[in-house]
Amino acid sequence: MLKGVHQLRLLCYNPILILFRKCVYYTEMRANMSMNIVCLDLEGVLVPEIWIAFAKETGIPELEKTTRDEPDYDKLMNYRINILKEHGLGLKEIQETIAKIDPMPGAKEFLDELREITQVIIISDTFTQFAAPLMKKLGWPTIFCNSLEVAEDGEITGYRMRVENSKYSTVKALQSIGFETIASGDSHNDLGMIKASKAGFLFKSTEQIKKDNPELEAYETYEQLMEAIKKAL
């Protein structure tokens, strides 16, 4: 009996066996990481909506309109820029609001866990001038986003998209070089990348968007979304 226990202990603590198990684990993990990329929206998924926060800060309710409400992004951004101009507001004022925004409860922990098991890219229609402080609070994940055109006095005069239909175009580009994408977002402008991916999920979306897209799985918690992503890997 003692001999058997001793052999069991040797088996359990055999460094070669432990190394083998680790190699199997990391091989499986690398396989997941090499083949899959999870593509996440930013605002409404990991952080609160920037424009809603700014609308509340300035007392301008017209700025609360987001991509959940308006599917035409060019129309929405031109609308925002005109309102900013009317009120004499620019990049500085928006950045002051962004500095006060924290990730949604549980977002960083969700992202940290996800990045341990697969590759993750945030694909957002926000702008480089907005993103940096939020990326710092999220642990500096990779983000693909757009850029604002800003005058010397800080007035936002326009914007430049990375590419037309940027979220959909990005996942298609990733797929063209051998990756399988899994996507999640909450708004109209996320639907393209969600539907083009091998698995796609709505997260904290509106009732109308969920109603209009009944074929898409919809989740409200990070635990639910994590479970769905793991099943899709």
Cα 219 → chain centroid: 15
* Contact yes or no for 162/143 (Cβ under 8 A): no
What pLDDT shows up at residue 68? 87
Mean per-residue pLDDT, 33-59: 93
> Binning pLDDT at 50, 70 and 90, where does residue 164 land?
confident
Residue-wise pLDDT tens digits, 108-131: 999 999 999 999 999 999 999 999
Residue 216 domain-assigned? yes
Residue 4 CA: distances (Å) to CA of 7, 8, 12: 5, 6, 12
Q: Annotated active-site positions, please?
A: 41, 43
17 within a domain of the structure (yes/no):
no
When pLDDT is cut at 50, 70 and 90, the band that residue 147 belongs to is very high
User: What values do phi and psi take at 147, rounded to 5?
Assistant: -140, 140
Residue 203 and residue 184 in contact, taking contact as beta carbons nearer than 8 Å? yes
Q: DSSP character for 206?
A: -
Share of the chain above pLDDT 90, in %: 80
pLDDT at 8 over 70: no
Q: Which residues contact 128 (CB under 8 A, 6 or more apart)?
A: 145, 146, 147, 148
Look at residue 92 in the predicted model and tell me its pLDDT: 97
Note the pLDDT tens digit of each residue in 187-200. 999 999 999 999 99
Instruction: Report pLDDT for 16.
Output: 45
Distance CA 89, CA 87 (A): 6
pLDDT band for position 67 (50/70/90)? confident
* Residue 10 resides in a domain: no
How much is the average pLDDT of 14-24?
Answer: 44
10 or 65, higher pLDDT: 65
Computed over every residue of the chain, the mean pLDDT equals 89
Please check the confidence at residue 99 and state whether its pLDDT lies above 50: yes
Q: Which domain holds residue 189?
A: 35-232
| Radius of gyration of the chain, Cα coordinates, nearest whole angstrom | 22
Residue 24 predicted with pLDDT over 50: no
Q: Which helix (H) or strand (E) holds 98?
A: helix 91-98
In a domain, 101, yes or no: yes
Instruction: Note whether residue 178 is domain-resident.
Output: yes
Examine the pLDDT at 1 and tell me if it is beyond 80: no
Give how many domains the chain has, as a whole number: 1
CATH at residue 170: 3.90.1470.10
**Residue 8 placed within a domain:** no
Tell me whether residue 44 is in a domain. Answer: yes
User: Is residue 148 situated within a structural domain?
Assistant: yes
Higher per-residue confidence, 20 vs 103: 103
pLDDT in the model for residue 33: 54
| pTM for the full predicted model | 0.82
Query: Rounded to whole angstroms, how far apart are CA atoms 168 and 190?
Result: 8
Higher pLDDT, 194 or 163: 194
